[in-house]
Amino acid sequence: MEEIKLTKLANCAGCGAKVGAGVLATLLEDLQVHNDPNLLVGFDKSDDASVYKVSEDMALVQTVDFFPPIADDPFTFGAIAATNALSDVYAMGGEPKLALNIMAVPKDMPKEAVHEILKGGYSKVYEAGALITGGHSILDEEPKYGLAVTGFVHPEKLIRNSGTKPGDVLFLTKPLGMGIITTAAKVDMVSKETYDRALELMMTLNKNARDAMVKYDVHACTDVTGFGLLGHASEMATGSDVELHINVDDVDLIDEALQLATIGILPEGMYRNRDFAEKYVDAGDVILAKQDMLYDPQTSGGLLIAVDSKDADAFYEELKTSVPSAQRIGVVNEKKGEFYIYLH
């Protein structure tokens, strides 16, 4: 098969291609939104997926996500894009069931590469216990791949990205630094070891984190993707009207990504996230490179979970054996100060 470097065909990598949260809000402004009593989650709180109650014990979870190549190897790219798309269902506490491929392919892209992207996607959908039931593809100059995913959740066990309460403990399930590492990889500035680890992390389903989370009293959850930890955390904090206090030393920052952040190897998306979320954040005396990492856009990142303090210890123990990096990163307080997020 002809060697093909997929990321060379992409202008922005993975979730870094996401339209900024601030811009998105203006694009959606004034669009008429129809409501329905059974629509449990819609546009209103910038949540991860929409949720519609079908019956007293079943709600439908729907989401769609796709992006340009984040990896050179087509199978890996497909697997990451699928893992990322499935993640939104997990973040709602749901289980994915049906998936449709969404794909854009350049006219001259070798057939084998397209096939490998799909194979990567299928492998993750099947690992998730879901089915691929169809899809849609178009011709485009830049390849893109992702999924529209439908899942199920019990309406009373639905976990939103808002609803965290004072006293809750915050957990994160994957390390940060994917955006920086994939940016550095474009100019061969990252070690193979770190790059391979990042790919592996991005291909790890958030299924285990979800399966652990639903056993405990979880008040809010979101997956950390294009808006970075602080972008997604600020949506959680403003939506819940609370203060999040994050101990930066307890956040798992990939070492090499931190070194790269220090010398300015940062994706454009980091600055977009900063522009959007900075107004909510009191960065205290946290050094700039660490702050930058907290704004770094993640592709297929982990879950940010707010759990009731009575369950925090047991949940932490369970996470330690089930997710790539179990981190107890902070607490939730009553909103008293000027900011929504305080870094310590």
15 is catalytic: yes
Q: How far apart are CA 286 and CA 78, in angstroms?
A: 36
Query: Under the criterion CB under 8 A, does residue 137 sit at the interface with another protein?
Result: no
Query: Under the criterion CB under 8 A, does residue 242 sit at the interface with another protein?
Result: no
Query: Under the criterion CB under 8 A, does residue 255 sit at the interface with another protein?
Result: no
Residue nearer to another protein on the CB measure, 6 or 266: 266
Residue nearer to another protein on the CB measure, 184 or 326: 184
Query: Under the criterion CB under 8 A, does residue 331 sit at the interface with another protein?
Result: no
Query: Under the criterion CB under 8 A, does residue 261 sit at the interface with another protein?
Result: yes
Return the residue of 177, 267, 302, 330 that touches another protein, per CB under 8 A.
267
Q: How far is the CB of 16 from another protein (least distance, A)?
A: 11
Task: Give 233-278 as a DSSP string.
Answer: HHHHHHHHTEEEEE-GGGS-B-HHHHHHHHTT---HHHHHHHHHHG
Q: How far apart are CA 208 and CA 322, in angstroms?
A: 6
Q: How far is the CB of 63 from another protein (least distance, A)?
A: 29
Count of residues engaged in binding another protein, rule: CB under 8 A = 17
Query: Under the criterion CB under 8 A, does residue 268 sit at the interface with another protein?
Result: yes
Segment interacting with another protein, rule: CB under 8 A, options 78-86, 123-131, 151-159, 288-296: 288-296
DSSP secondary structure code for residue 69 in this structure: -
Encoded amino acid at 260, one letter: L
Query: Under the criterion CB under 8 A, does residue 262 sit at the interface with another protein?
Result: yes
Sequence-ordered alpha helix ranges (H) in the chain: 21-28, 74-91, 111-127, 178-185, 192-202, 207-213, 228-240, 255-262, 268-277, 288-295, 312-320
Query: Under the criterion CB under 8 A, does residue 288 sit at the interface with another protein?
Result: yes
Residues numbered 141 to 200 that lie near another protein (CB under 8 A) are 183-184, 186-187, 189
Choose, from 12, 15, 51, 304, the residue flagged as catalytic: 15
Return the residue of 147, 289, 294, 305 that touches another protein, per CB under 8 A.
289
Q: Judge whether 51 and 60 are in contact, CB under 8 Å.
A: yes
Residue nearer to another protein on the CB measure, 179 or 301: 179
Return phi, psi of residue 329, to 5°: -100, -10
Give the neighbor-by-neighbor strand order of the sheet with 281-282: 218-223, 303-307, 169-172, 327-334, 242-246, 341-343, 281-282
Strand bridging mode 341-343 / 242-246: parallel
Return the residue of 31, 264, 321, 336 that touches another protein, per CB under 8 A.
264
User: Which residue do the tokens 């992390």 mark?
Assistant: 201
Residue nearer to another protein on the CB measure, 214 or 265: 265
Please identify every residue annotated as catalytic: 15
Under the rule (CB under 8 A), what is the footprint of another protein? 183-184, 186-187, 189, 261-268, 271, 288-289, 292
